[in-house]
Amino acid sequence: MDKQRISSRFSKAAASYDSAAVVQGQIAEKMIRLLRNHVPIRPDRVLEIGCGTGLLSRLLLQQLSPKHTIFNDICPEMIKSVKSIVLPQHSSQHCSFICADAETCNLPGELDLITSCSTIQWFEDPSAFFARCHTALHAHGILAFSTFGEENMREISSTTGVGLTYHTQSALVAELLALGYEILSVEEELLSLSFESPLQVLSHLKETGVTGIKNHRWTKSKLQAYCTEYVDRYAVGTRVPLTYHPIYIIAKKK
C-alpha cells in the first residue's frame, strides 16, 4: 500500500469530498446512531481515526459532546478542512490533532472511545491496529468503526482489475475476539449509487480521493474497453451502478 499516493489523492479531493462522498456521509450518520446506543454522552477522551473532512467529526461533537476529542488523519489537507470548517462551529469544545499514519504513529492512551469511518480498508494490517487500540483504550473502552467488505466497488475491480483486498465481517470479528474484545454490534449492508455513464463513475472516484490504490494508466483503448464492459455487465436501463459494502462493528475492551 503506497500511503504517500493515498495521501496525495485525498489531498487533491479535499475540496470536492463532502459533496461527492454521499455514501460516506450516510455511513457516518449510521455510525453515530449506533454509537449513541453504546457510548454515554460527554465521554472524557475520544480519538477519531481518519477524520477526513469531518463527516463523522461534526456528528461526534454535536451528539456526543466529548470533553476532549483528538482527530487523526494522514492527509494535512483533511486536517486543515476540519480545523477551518468543523471547529468554528464547536469553538467551546476541547480538540487536538494528530496528522500521521494511524498504523504507525503513537496513539494517545486512556481513551473512552476510538472510532473511524471508511478508513480501515486502507490499512496494511488491521489486526495489528486493533491490538494497538486495545492498549490505548481504558478498561471497557469502545472501539467503533466502519470499513468495507468484499462487494465494495465490485464493478470497478471487475472491469479494471484494480481494487483493495477487503476483509469479511466474520474475519474482522474473529480478529477482535482473539485480541480480547467483546462484540457489541455488527452490521453490514449494500448501498448503491447510480450514474449516467462509467466515465461519471471515474469522476466520482476522483472527487472522493479513491484513486490512490495504484498508478493506473488510462489509454484511449483501455478507457473504451472499460466503458464497454461496464455497460455490458452492469447497466440498468440507461444508467450504471456503483456498489458500496459498509461493515459496522462496535467492540468493547474486556
Model confidence band, residue 214 (pLDDT cutoffs 50, 70, 90)? low
pLDDT > 60? residue 212: no
Residues 158-184: b if buried by 16+ CB within 10 A, e if exposed:
ebbeeebebbebeebbebbeebebeee
Q: Of the ranges 29-33, 102-106, 152-156, 207-211, which one carries the lowest mean pLDDT score?
A: 207-211
Q: Of the ranges 2-11, 94-103, 141-150, 224-233, which one carries the lowest mean pLDDT score?
A: 2-11
Q: Where are the beta strands (DSSP E) in 50-157?
A: 68-73, 94-99, 111-117, 137-148
Report residue 180: phi and psi, to 5°: 100, 20
Q: Yes or no: say if 154 and 202 are a contact pair by the CB < 8 Å rule.
A: no
Mean pLDDT, rounded, of the chain = 93
Q: What is the Cα 77 distance to its own chain's centre? A: 16
- Chain position carrying cell 469511518: 117
Q: Yes or no: say if 130 and 179 are a contact pair by the CB < 8 Å rule.
A: yes
- Give the model's pLDDT for residue 136: 98
What is the average pLDDT across 221-229? 95
Radius of gyration of the chain measured on its C-alpha atoms: 18
- Give the model's pLDDT for residue 86: 81
Q: Yes or no: say if 50 and 119 are a contact pair by the CB < 8 Å rule.
A: yes
39 grid coordinates? 457510548
Report the candidate in 135, 130, 71, 136 with the shortest Cα–Cα distance to residue 98: 71
What structural domains and CATH numbers belong to the chain?
3-153+163-192+241-253 (3.40.50.150)
pLDDT > 70? residue 215: no
Model confidence band, residue 18 (pLDDT cutoffs 50, 70, 90)? confident
150 grid coordinates? 468484499
Following CA atoms 193, 36, 93, 97 in sequence, which dihedral angle do they give, to the nearest 10 degrees?
A: -60
Model confidence band, residue 14 (pLDDT cutoffs 50, 70, 90)? confident
Q: Yes or no: say if 252 and 141 are a contact pair by the CB < 8 Å rule.
A: yes
- Chain position carrying cell 461526534: 60
Helical residues (DSSP H) of the chain, grouped into ranges: 3-12, 14-20, 22-36, 55-59, 76-81, 126-136, 154-160, 169-178, 198-207, 220-234
